[in-house]
Every structure is written in C-alpha cells, then in structure tokens.
Amino acid sequence: MSERRARPSSEDPRNTSGTDGSTEAKGSGGPKGARAARRSLWRRALTPPPAPAPRPSVPHGPSPAPGPPEVVSVVQSALYRDGVRVSAPASLAETFRELREQPDGMAWIGLARPTAAELHSLAAEFDLHPLAVEDAMEAHQRPKLERYGETLFVVLSAARYLDAAEEVDFGELHVFVGPDFVITVRHGAAPDLSAVRRRMEGSPELLRLGPEAVLYAILDSVVDGYVPVVSGVQNDIDEIETEVFRGDPAVSRRIYELSREMVEFQRATRPLVGMLHNLMAGFAKYRTDEELQRYLRDVADHVTHTSERVDGFRQALTDILTVNATLVTQQQNAEMRALAEAGFEQNEEIKKISSWAAILFAPTLVGTIYGMNFSHMPELHWAFGYPFAIVLMAVVCTSLYFVFKRKDWL
C-alpha cells in the first residue's frame, strides 16, 4: 500500500476520517465496520433473486452421471501488503476473507470471461456500481473512464498483431480500481496481464504505491502492445504499395480489410488520449505520487504518438485505394484502346479481303457463264467471242479496283 493511504490526512480529499486523522471515525467496529459501511443498495440491486426450491421427486432409474466440473474464470488472485505478495487465495471467497483480515492489504483479482455469478459476488463485496458490472458482463464497450464514488471503472481495447494471418486481433479489458483492490475482467487473448503482474511483483517500490500503480502498469502494457501492431501495419502498407504498382488484382481486397482494421484500431486508441489526460488530472487532484504521475504522462505521450500513427495509416490507405482505383481505370482504358485498335486493324483487313474477293468474282462470273457449253447459247460461234469475254473481265475488274481504291479499301 502507498504511504498516502497508509497514513491518511485531513488534507486528502478522499479521506473520510475525522479531522484528527483517526481511522475509527470511518465506522464502528474498525476495518470490518468500514467495509460493511461501504455496502449500499447497489448490493441488493446486484443480488439475483433466489431460485424457487425444486419439488422432491422419486427417482425412477439410476441417478444421472455427474456433469463436468464448473469452469472457474479466475485467472489469478493475490493479496499484497507493502508492495509484496503475502498470499494467493484459490477462490474469490478466500480472497474476500483474507482481505477483511488485512485492512492494509490490496487485492489484485484477474478474471477471464467471468460468469454473472462471479461478477455479482465481486460487486457485492466491493460495492461496484451496477452499470459498470453490466458493462463488464456484456463487453463490446468502447474505451472509457468513469468514476463511481471511490471506484474507477476503465475500459480498454488491447490489440496484437498476428503475423501468420497478417491481421490485428483485438481484445477488451475492463478494470475496476478501488481503494484496496484491482479487478481485471478480460474478454479476449490480449493483453497478457501475467507479464504485468510479474513486472509489478519485481518492482515492490512501484507496487507499494497501491492500486493506482497497478492501473498505470496495465495501461502501459496495453499501450506497449500497440507498438508491434503499428510495425506490422506499416509493413503491410509497404507491401500493399508494391502490389498496387505491380498490378496485383487481389490488392483491393487487402486494402479494404486493412482499412477496416485501422478503423477498429482508431476506435481503440483515440479515446485513450482524453482518458489519460482526465486520469492525470485525477491523479493531481488526489495527490497521487509524483513519480507515478510522471509515468502516466509518459504513457499519455506514447498513446498520442500511436493515435497519430493510426490516423496517418488510415489516410495512407485511403490514398492508396484512390491510386489503385486510378491505376485500374488506366489499365482498363489501355486494354479497351488496344481492343479498339485491334478491331480497327481487323476491319481494314476484312475490307481488303472483301475488295479482292469482289474483283476476282467478276471474271469468275463471266467465265462461268461462257463455260456452260449449251448448244444454242448466243455468241457461241462468234469469232470475236473470246476476245470480248477477256476484255469484259478486264474492264469489270479494273472498274472494281478503282472503286475500292477510291474508298480506301485497298
């Protein structure tokens, strides 16, 4: 626990003790009374109604086989005191009991896709707001930061780059931060909070600062997870640019899919900028450790840089899509022009062939008529019949040649 909460003062805006600084003013019965005083109507609102008792029935056969064991979604639960882990309870009930026995301790509970019953038990124990619990159960929330009394509710969108599929996988993380507890509810494979826990346990001086330090470490891990995603997307964009100018027909689909991922990435990073500025203002208001405020400002700088890169990626993909459409249009125009030129050349050849066919058809017609060998054909015994036929063929062919030549068919 941080010294700020271990030694509350009357100047701390979150201090609910008397002006003399005594913690007994929080409620009768010491720490147990203080924890009991936190529970309000929210607990009754979150507690589901009891199910009706089943009617007894007489079995008519062998008893059914026992079902599969209940899947527990608690990834890891641990209690810390003065920056050092003191226990690792195996269940939520043990965590609640040990935290009540150690008023100066801090519980860090990690859940992965928890059940409604587990979230309701956490809400009843730590007085979580029903709206925040509902968001954590339903998931599919946009990144946001909300305060409910002494509890902060943070929704984060983590991301990781899958090299094999060349796509971005997004996961959702909900964080409840209270005076003596941190609860993480993870929906998805990212981020790897076990690495965050190891990092914090390896830095007792940082973990000693309390739940705010854990929140900083989670934010820092999520933001650091964006770095390989940015590198992978940059590499994809470079490859897409090469494919665009190479004329790959499948590049349009890849541009569209990556553009959709950048829209999702933008939704994950853009709200974080405002969230971290609000969180820094809250850290200053509640006089959080100065060193922790510096760390948070560093995370805010990284988020701003990442958000600007993502905005640039989206604009670059839009420009690439426009260039690709222009290149495709130019390629189609070139192909149409080539087809038109080929058609024109083919028409010219057809004209020449048709012209020579017509020229050769004339003598063939004359020769065919005079070669029918009928007995009573006119001019059959005429002395000038043969020269006349030859002259007639020549005149007809010459006339057709000049006619086609004048029409540029030859």
pLDDT tens digits for range 265-290:
999 999 998 888 888 887 766 667 77
Contact 171, 99 (CB under 8 A): no
Looking at residue 286, its pLDDT comes to 60
| Digit-coded pLDDT (tens) for 199-258 | 999 999 989 888 999 999 999 999 999 999 999 999 999 999 898 888 888 888 889 889
Strand, helix or coil for residue 410: coil
User: For residue 338, is pLDDT > 80?
Assistant: yes
**Cα four-point dihedral sign 125, 127, 130, 134:** negative
Q: pTM value?
A: 0.67
Give mean pLDDT, residues 328-343: 87
Strand, helix or coil for residue 89: coil
Q: How many residues does the chain have?
A: 410
User: For residue 181, is pLDDT > 90?
Assistant: yes
Closest residue by Cα to residue 152 from 286, 19, 243: 286
DSSP state of 67: -
Looking at residue 335, its pLDDT comes to 86
User: For residue 46, is pLDDT > 90?
Assistant: no
> How many Å apart are CA 105 and CA 5, to the nearest integer?
11
Closest residue by Cα to residue 177 from 129, 114, 137, 120: 129
Looking at residue 126, its pLDDT comes to 92
Closest residue by Cα to residue 302 from 235, 220, 237, 243: 220
Looking at residue 312, its pLDDT comes to 93
User: For residue 399, is pLDDT > 50?
Assistant: yes
